[in-house]
Amino acid sequence: MNQSKSIKILLLCTIGLIITSGIAYAQVDKTSELYKTLKTNDSLLFSVGFNTCDISQFERFLAEDLEFYHDKSGIEKGKTVFIKGVKSGLCKPNNTEKINRYLVEESLEVFPLYNNGKLYGTIQKGVHYFSQVKDLKFDDSDNSAQFSHLWLLTNGKWEIKRVFSYNHIAKEIKKELKSVVIPQQILSSYTGNYKAPKTGNVTIKLSGNNLSLKAGEMEAIIVAISQNTFAHSEASLIFEFTKNENGNISRMVVKENGKIVETAIKQ
């Protein structure tokens, strides 16, 4: 057998090995029991554990030597350290800024890990997003991130050994705003100077049939969507003007994704 023919046979064998390996370790079908099991585990850990602060789910699913790698907040090692952080942060008593985690269902993938044909773990990956708004849909969210979880199967029990949370990005929200025309007299009643605890001084002025808002370095046109409610055309912010008992405009309430994030008092 000449050298050229030997090389060709070697290449074909190598390609065949790669192809068969790829088939053996491809992601599992979403109707498989393995996929369903890991999806259920994800739901228990996050929909129950994270979103309702059921710490028992973290105790159940996290390995003692857990390692958590986050692209913004660094590395955290150990189940005990992680749970302590959850208790003092996300799940601290009377937390008024509770955040929920939501899975983008169609993004979830599960890749089995074998040792000599025996299943010993999986890599589970997908996309999720976070919000203080309950049951917020992905299209209405302003963020997303990717995750990869290394699950190991030990004595019939699934545990997360490694967590990678990365590609946290702000997501542009595009919504079609239906504007309304408000009489200039009513528009003028909203103008003036306001003061907010977080933002500081806010100035509202007329801008055609809408209003302009200036807060620090930020300037924006807010569009009327009802007689006393305005929307930011480029962000998920709503501005609602309210009256006091004398019928005068007294404050401006700012909402993001349906949640009040600021209240500015008219000066």
pLDDT, mean of residues 184-196: 95
Report the distance separating Cα 90 and Cα 69, nearest Å: 18
pTM above 0.75, yes or no: no
pLDDT at 233: 73
Q: What is the pLDDT of residues 230-239, one digit of tens each?
A: 988 777 788 9
Tokens read off for 69 = 């790698």
CATH of residue 211's domain is 2.40.128.50
Q: Are 71 and 167 in contact (CB under 8 A)?
A: yes
Question: Is residue 176 situated within a structural domain?
Answer: no
Q: Show which of 115, 146, 170 is a domain's final residue.
A: 170
Residue 5, Cβ density class (10 Å: 0-12 exposed, 13-18 middle, ≥19 buried): exposed
Question: Is residue 118 situated within a structural domain?
Answer: yes
pLDDT at 31: 96
Report the distance separating Cα 162 and Cα 201, nearest Å: 46
Q: Does one domain contain both 153 and 188?
A: no
Question: Is residue 175 situated within a structural domain?
Answer: no
- In a 13 Å sphere around the CA of 81, the CA atoms on its Cβ side amount to 8
* pLDDT higher than 90, residue 264: yes
Which range of residues forms the domain containing residue 261?
A: 184-266
pLDDT at 14: 45
Confidence of residue 15 (pLDDT cuts 50, 70, 90): very low
Question: Is residue 92 situated within a structural domain?
Answer: yes
CA distances from 26 to 86, 111, 155 (A): 34, 6, 24
* Higher-pLDDT residue of 26, 181: 181
Number of domains in the chain: 2
* Percent of all residues in the chain with a pLDDT value above 90, rounded to a whole number: 61
**Residues with Cβ within 8 Å of residue 61, at least 6 apart in sequence:** 41, 44, 45, 49, 158, 159, 160
Q: What is the pLDDT of residues 159-176, one digit of tens each?
A: 999 999 999 887 655 555
**Residues with Cβ within 8 Å of residue 251, at least 6 apart in sequence:** 194, 241, 242, 263, 264, 265, 266
Q: What is the pLDDT of residues 93-103, one digit of tens each?
A: 888 778 899 99
* pLDDT higher than 70, residue 1: no
Q: Are 142 and 126 in contact (CB under 8 A)?
A: no
**Residues with Cβ within 8 Å of residue 73, at least 6 apart in sequence:** none
Question: Is residue 179 situated within a structural domain?
Answer: no
Kindly report the average pLDDT of the chain as a whole number: 87
pLDDT at 172: 59
Q: Does one domain contain both 7 and 101?
A: yes
Within 10 angstroms of residue 28's Cβ, the number of other Cβ atoms is 17
